[in-house]
């Protein structure tokens, strides 16, 4: 064993370079991965970003190895006329070349240099035989437009000189894996024009903590005002391989360093497995994660914010969106960046066109999971257990498997869609399917069991959630040139339902959000009656004598794992939901309507039957404004106000305005305004505007008085129509009479628009009418309404129509 630099050449070394000696200009010498690590070590460590030290075995050393073993002719001869679409042939070629590499020896002098480098790294770390990561770094990888996700070998927890030499040889051989050969051929890279460097880097003890991946944009929509972070316990390979569903975090970039809490979403992942060091010294083993660790986040808020700040520094340094791997050392508690490369999918897409896939038929949903991309694909199911079954897969089939790794790429390239049991949005299947532009559903749990070979299916990722439908269904692709969408004097807002779709919806040209419904977020993200959370301890005491209450308590406790104070669960979830919507459209207005559940709807929430009365006509009962100041509900309303205060004050999203629904009288409006002020939401403070929904005839008849209370009106044409015509819009018996275009309804709309404008108040509409009836939109333009809020799928068409109508009226922007 080499115990010092004996026999090592002095002076410049062309075969081994320390990472802190290199930068991005040295890609030709050390490949993209090593060059990026060196670039960060040299330029970003002074800003606080930690990068593990190490050295690079250069591309010149690789070429020396190839030349010394006379591998050039072997590669040329074997790959002559390679067809990347013939997987079996590629597999045979790759196997022969890799065998030759693994059997070849190092030049004696190069072997001494590598042994010396490993010894010196140990000396610098104060360790004998330190654990290192051996990472391939090709000259063509991690460049703009080519991610080469997992194309070449990475070997973790390597100890000892012999093991290091063996791992480097494996990395050299991985230049010619089946997937790498096919990938280069498809991308037009020369097979022999490529060279490989290998990085030898100190291992971060994330096996005792956590690791993950982060992007400086949203990976699905390309929305670039957030940092998207994923994390799981143990070494990061589990996330990349798609073996776990990781925790997910979104951080709003403009709030970083300016406001107390820039986190706009946290989602707990399953994290059932983790990769840790083997007790035998080299390699890793797979362990089950304890239930306690599965049900808690891998990062605290300070760590999430630190990583987000680092991501922004790296993005600013490189001047482009980045894909970054991070790790936390379980011994020291320190965070590290272990890799950074340009993001390749959204960087390569033009932003001038909006492409929308629309499913035109429906059928039974066979399985569902997390959507990757926003497309639709259809074909015959082929369930495969292993990439070695490549000969059994045909072009255009739907690949269904447990998870993918780079060996699957020849199959993935010819699939119409991909469905996996496991994985998160930064796993291999997700990354590659985005780059290939094919729909992918990950984390179905049991897709391989529910779907069968030969079954015809449609894979839909166009609506936020990934769904596999039975049969081949019709769909269309709408394309819009965004640069051709005109500006209008009438503001065109969007109605937003739930936060899951908002980053994609935010790319549709509009002026903000005219209606974001709190009850939608409460129903989908919380699902528990707020009073049951407030009185959780009281319910626990009741549970001993009441089996029904005991069942409710158990379900609440399970759903709110990690929260000792159950009201914090409500506050976090509601603040994240509203915050994500507000961040997407910032600094444009986002009008958030306070909760407007009816008693029967509140009763359907977990624990709701304990607190809600039974009403025969809840549509005109205890709903909206009348609940907020009522002592039976005001503690729950206090939580709503506290969540909105978090969004505006702690996250800095003051573009959030508040709207009060179903306010029957001006006096009731004043009560609500006072109640909100008592709970910390004071009208006019920090530019807070409070609007009223105009959906009751009294809102129109007393519009002048309501204008003295509120900052503006938003017409809710749905309720206004049913209350004007005296019918239940949910009743099939009278549904044929329900029509917003009825002259009585239009008369009320015209009255309130004219009154609001005379009083100097803003007035818009957020009901369904202009979304459903283009002629109703024309009518509103003629009235001079300030804004219309529309369903996302009608925003562009209505905006174009409004522009034409304004032009015909001689109205300018």
Taking alpha carbons only, the member of 409, 398, 412 closest to residue 447 is: 398
How far apart, in whole angstroms, are the C-alpha atoms of residue 258 and residue 575? 18
Out of 428, 501, 525, 529, the active site residue is 428
Report DSSP state, residue 649: I
Spell out a b/e string for 338-374, using b for 16 or more CB atoms within 10 Å of the CB, else e. bbbbbbbbbbeeeeeebebbebeeeeeebbbbbbbbb
Taking alpha carbons only, the member of 248, 261, 141, 270 closest to residue 194 is: 141
CB 324 within 8 A of CB 303: no
How far apart, in whole angstroms, are the C-alpha atoms of residue 300 and residue 303? 5
- Do the strands 762-765 and 712-715 form a parallel or antiparallel pair, or are they unpaired? parallel
Provide the 10 A C-beta neighbour count for residue 742. Answer: 14
Q: Count the residues in the chain.
A: 813
Taking alpha carbons only, the member of 231, 230, 228 closest to residue 206 is: 231
Taking alpha carbons only, the member of 117, 156, 159, 115 closest to residue 17 is: 117
CB 507 within 8 A of CB 354: yes
CB 522 within 8 A of CB 574: yes
Measured in degrees and rounded to the nearest 5, phi and psi for residue 120 equal -65, -40
Three-state DSSP at 622 gives coil
Taking alpha carbons only, the member of 14, 104, 121 closest to residue 58 is: 14
Verify whether residue 428 is a known catalytic residue.
yes
Kindly state the helix (H) or strand (E) to which residue 233 belongs, with its residue range. strand 226-233
Instruction: Write down the residue that tokens 């275009």 correspond to.
Output: 741
The residues facing 528 across adjacent strands are 606
CB 247 within 8 A of CB 299: yes
Measured in degrees and rounded to the nearest 5, phi and psi for residue 435 equal -65, -35
Cα torsion angle, 373, 364, 442, 556, sign: positive
Compute the CA torsion angle 110, 115, 120, 126 (nearest 10 deg). Answer: 170
CB 787 within 8 A of CB 492: yes
Provide the 10 A C-beta neighbour count for residue 139. Answer: 21
DSSP 746-788: HHHHHHHHHHHHHTT-EEEE-SSHHHH-HHHHHHHHHHT-SEE
Query: What are the distances in angstroms from CA 553 to CA 533, 547, 558?
Result: 10, 10, 9
Three-state DSSP at 803 gives helix
Q: Is 498 exposed, middle or buried (0-12, 13-18, 19+ CB in 10 A)?
A: middle
Cα torsion angle, 577, 580, 585, 586, sign: positive
Q: Is 237 exposed, middle or buried (0-12, 13-18, 19+ CB in 10 A)?
A: middle
How far apart, in whole angstroms, are the C-alpha atoms of residue 719 and residue 695? 5
Verify whether residue 501 is a known catalytic residue.
no
How far apart, in whole angstroms, are the C-alpha atoms of residue 502 and residue 496? 7
Instruction: Write down the residue that tokens 């006019």 correspond to.
Output: 684
CB 747 within 8 A of CB 754: no
DSSP 403-436: ---GGGHHHHTT-SEEEESS--TTSHHHHHHHHH
Catalytic residues: 428, 766
């Amino acid at each position: 064993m080499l115990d010092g630099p004996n026999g090592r050449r002095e002076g410049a070394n062309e075969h081994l370079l320390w990472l802190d000696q290199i930068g991005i200009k040295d890609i030709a010498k050390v490949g993209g991965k090593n060059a990026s690590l060196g670039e960060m070590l040299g330029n970003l460590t002074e800003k606080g970003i930690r990068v593990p030290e190490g050295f690079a075995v250069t591309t010149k050393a690789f070429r020396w190895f190839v030349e010394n073993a006379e591998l050039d002719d072997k590669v040329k001869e074997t790959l002559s006329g390679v067809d990347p679409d013939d997987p079996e042939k590629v597999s045979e070629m790759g196997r022969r070349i890799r065998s030759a590499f693994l059997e070849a020896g190092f030049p004696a002098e190069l072997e001494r240099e590598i042994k010396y480098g490993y010894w010196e790294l140990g000396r610098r770390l104060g360790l004998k035989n330190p654990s290192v990561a051996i990472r391939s770094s090709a000259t063509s990888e991690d460049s703009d437009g080519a991610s080469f996700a997992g194309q070449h070998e990475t070997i973790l927890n390597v100890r000892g000189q012999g093991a290091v030499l063996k791992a480097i040889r494996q990395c050299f051989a991985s230049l010619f894996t089946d997937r790498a050969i096919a990938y280069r051929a498809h991308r037009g890279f020369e097979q022999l024009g490529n060279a490989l460097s290998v990085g030898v880097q100190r291992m971060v003890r994330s096996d005792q903590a956590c690791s993950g991946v982060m992007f400086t944009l949203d990976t699905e929509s390309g929305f670039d005002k957030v940092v998207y972070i994923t994390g799981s316990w143990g070494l990061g390979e589990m996330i990349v391989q798609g073996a776990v569903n990781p925790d997910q975090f979104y951080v709003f970039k403009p709030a970083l360093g300016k406001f107390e809490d820039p986190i706009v979403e946290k989602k707990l992942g399953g994290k059932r497995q983790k990769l840790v060091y083997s007790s035998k010294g080299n390699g890793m083993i797979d362990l089950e994660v304890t239930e306690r660790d599965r049900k808690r986040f891998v990062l605290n808020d300070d760590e999430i914010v630190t990583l987000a700040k680092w991501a922004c520094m790296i993005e600013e340094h490189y001047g482009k969106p980045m894909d970054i791997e991070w790790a936390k050392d379980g011994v020291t508690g320190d965070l590290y960046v272990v890799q950074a490369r340009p993001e390749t999918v959204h960087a390569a897409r033009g932003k001038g066109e909006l492409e929308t896939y629309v499913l035109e038929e429906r059928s039974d949903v066979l399985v569902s999971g997390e959507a990757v991309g926003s497309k639709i694909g259809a074909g015959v199911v082929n369930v495969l257990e292993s990439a070695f079954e490549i000969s059994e897969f045909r072009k255009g089939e739907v690949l269904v498997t447990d998870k993918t790794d780079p060996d699957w790429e020849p199959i993935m390239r010819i699939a119409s869609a991909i469905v996996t049991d496991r994985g998160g949005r930064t796993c291999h299947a997700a990354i590659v399917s985005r780059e290939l532009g094919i729909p992918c559903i990950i984390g179905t749990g049991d897709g391989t069991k529910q779907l069968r070979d030969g079954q015809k299916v449609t894979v839909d990722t166009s609506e936020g959630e990934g769904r596999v439908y039975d049969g081949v269904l019709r769909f269309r692709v709408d394309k819009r040139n965004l640069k051709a969408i005109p500006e209008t004097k009438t503001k065109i807002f969007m109605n937003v339902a739930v936060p899951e779709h908002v980053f994609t919806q935010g790319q549709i040209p509009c002026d903000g959000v005219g209606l974001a419904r709190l009850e939608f977020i409460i129903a989908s993200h919380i699902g528990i009656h707020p009073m049951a959370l407030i009185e959780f301890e009281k319910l626990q005491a009741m549970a001993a004598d009441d089996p029904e209450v005991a069942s409710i308590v158990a379900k609440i406790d399970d759903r709110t794992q990690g929260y000792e104070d159950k009201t914090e669960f409500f506050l976090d979830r509601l603040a994240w939901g509203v915050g994500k919507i507000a961040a997407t459209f910032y600094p444009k207005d986002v009008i958030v309507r306070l909760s407007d559940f009816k008693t029967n709807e509140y009763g359907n929430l977990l624990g709701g039957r304990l607190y809600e009365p039974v009403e025969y006509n809840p549509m005109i009962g205890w709903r909206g404004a009348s609940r907020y100041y009522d002592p039976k509900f005001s503690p729950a309303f206090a939580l709503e106000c506290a969540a909105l205060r978090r969004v505006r004050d702690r996250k800095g999203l003051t573009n959030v305005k508040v709207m009060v629904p179903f306010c029957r009288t001006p006096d009731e409006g004043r009560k609500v305004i006072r109640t909100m002020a008592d709970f910390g939401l004071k009208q006019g403070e920090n530019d807070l505007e409070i609007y009223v929904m105009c959906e009751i005839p009294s809102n129109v008849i007393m519009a002048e008085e309501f204008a003295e209370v509120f900052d503006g009106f938003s017409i809710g044409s749905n309720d206004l129509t049913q209350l004007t015509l005296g019918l239940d819009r949910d009743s099939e018996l009278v549904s044929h009479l329900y029509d917003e275009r009825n002259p009585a309804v239009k008369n009320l709309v015209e009255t309130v628009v004219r009154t609001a404008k005379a009083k100097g108040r803003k007035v818009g509409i957020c009901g369904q009418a202009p979304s459903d009836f283009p002629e109703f939109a024309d009518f509103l333009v003629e009235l001079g309404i300030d804004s219309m809020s529309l369903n996302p799928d009608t925003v562009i068409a209505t905006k174009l129509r409004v522009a034409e109508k304004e032009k015909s009226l001689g109205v300018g922007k």
